A and B are shown apart, each in its own frame.
Chain A
């Protein structure tokens, strides 16, 4: 097994699927010769040719339309949106077209499209690059929304996403691209979409989270352990549809929960998780379920970013409120 960063694991997944299925096509802005602005598609055009891995004109809606059209011709497109903040330009292709293809055609056509895109704070990008817009995506029926937190998960989830016959939004947190390495198996393996994973077991409190916040939550759990609290961390991995069973099993075990997301607090994934817990496990709860999230402003300008983003301290404070309720 090789030690890989998340970006390497993603490239490896793309290479695996380009080899595995001649219908897989990769395209987007600068994904060809340049290998993508983060090098996610590094070397793929050289290996598979311009017919399979190609640059597009600079227009996100066109990229989305291309994906719709190519899927109608039996291809399995894996377009890249260079930064997820640019998604507004391609919202119609995603929500108006891809997500509805199966439904609109009475099941006749489907859209096996995986849209990959970097997002996430902590790397001091210009505006419209770092926003967490998974809540927006999660509100669209017909899509699946996947956010890996580790290199191992990224490869297995991306292979599953590409093989899935429904459209998947695959969001890659920029801060995780190169922040650590992990053992990643060679060749193909899959991790099922729609399944959460308990990343750390505990018995006093469940932290339900995803993406970069998984790592902040694990750090918080380690700190809390020093004070005698046993904290479980559940990584959703797919934020839509939710793995409700895993969430509820954890909450029923611990009796206390917080939900941590990098996105702004209102609406969104964490609110949905709280609502599901409320619907299904309220009698197992010893305390209210609280959220840790960013404030409801537009994504912070870089100079305020480190305070704006939820961090280990925020998670510890909220955890203690629930633990000591």
Chain B
């Protein structure tokens, strides 16, 4: 016997469509640098707007220099950031110093603007233990390598802040691929269940190495995954610094008011390869797609916006570029001058107190290193 048509299933489809319709991409500044959503405009002074622009220009230079330093063999692991400046820097710009950042490996710029010395960022890239030795008072942890692990940890940091009664948030970053991990769901679910002050950012740069966004999930947006965790989710134009800033600022407001976490998807693009370790984006992306996204460039639209306001000019731009180049030069020198790390250094940081096996191994390596 054929079963009867199940009318409930039709309703389920409608329900899904209704949910998905709610997740429209929020934009404040369009590609021409025009404000298209006056109501959502965040409150930012001219100085703050200039500062955010400086950071984006500076970080674009840092990316270019890092790539060439990597090619010269003077930097280690590096994941290029160009294209993602609005997502990365405007989200960090919306934070306060007491907020804690749990970055992914492409999120070194946010750490730097949160207080990590540039020389340490370089040391981390080179694989020196000093790179992860975060200075006191800088609320970041070194970049997570395991995709998604930072999401469950962010729930823990946020719960800790809540228990301590702090008016602060934990913010963490992953990419479009990261939303497929179990830890992604566990992180947003735990934070939701505990109403913990966390902000979960998905920088949807369209490709997880080579795998396109549409192969990760049937979900129309990644932000809608918030619905299942019972927390607010929002999609923003990740090439629009004002939209990113506004979304994170609002999420932060909610979080410190005890209203729990928010999931934010920023629609963005990395212009470069996944990392400098041999990835070739031409194997999985067309130049047409690259060009389409480069037209949305965050620096271009923000520059237009600020120039129209009369608060940015070529001189300021050049000053920022020169400052970045000088800082990088100094920081690389600092990294070069850092004592080379030894196996005995590594042994010494395994435990608070060394067990017998490591005491013995330490003696062996001390002997080797003295030769």
Contacts and interface: CB of A to CB of B under 8 A. Distances in A.
Interface of A: 25, 51, 56-57, 59, 61-62, 64-75, 92-93, 96-97, 102-110, 141-142, 144, 164-166, 194, 241-245
Interface string B344-371: 0010111110011110000000000000
Interface of B: 100, 129-134, 141-142, 146, 149, 151-161, 163-164, 170, 182-183, 186-187, 189-190, 193, 346, 348-352, 355-358
Contacts of A166: 351-352
Contacts of B100: 72
Given A142-B351, A144-B351, A242-B356, 11 more contacts: A62-B189, A66-B152, A67-B156, A68-B156, A69-B170, A70-B156, A70-B160, A102-B350, A141-B350, A166-B351, A244-B356
Given A57-B190, A61-B182, A106 B155 contact: no
A119 B83 CA distance: 50
A288 to B, nearest CB: 23
Contacts of B141: 72, 105, 109
Contacts, number: 135
A102 B349 contact: yes
Contacts of A51: 163
Secondary structure dominating the interface of B: helix
Contact of A59 (B129, B156, B189): B189
A62 B142 contact: no
A65 B186 CA distance: 9
Contacts of B152: 61-62, 64-66, 68-69, 93
A67 B153 CA distance: 8
A78 B240 CA distance: 43
A106 B132 CA distance: 6
B161 A93 contact: no
Contacts of A106: 129-133, 349
B346 A103 contact: yes
Contacts of B356: 194, 241-245
Contacts of B132: 104-106, 108
B164 A194 contact: no
A285 B327 CA distance: 64
A65 B170 CA distance: 13
A65 B156 contact: yes
Contacts of A62: 152, 155, 183, 186-187, 189-190
A61, A62, A72, A166 — most chain B CB neighbours (10 Å): A62
Contacts of A104: 132, 142
Given A59-B190, A62-B186, A65-B186, A105 B149 contact: no
B134 A105 contact: yes
A73 B161 contact: yes
Contacts of B158: 69
Contacts of B193: 57
A75 B164 CA distance: 10
B155 A107 contact: no
A65 B151 contact: yes
A56 B146 CA distance: 23
B186 A242 contact: no
A74 B156 CA distance: 11
Given A70-B160, A244-B356, A65 B346 contact: no
Contact of B153 (A56, A68, A110, A241): A68
A139 B292 CA distance: 50
A142 B356 CA distance: 13
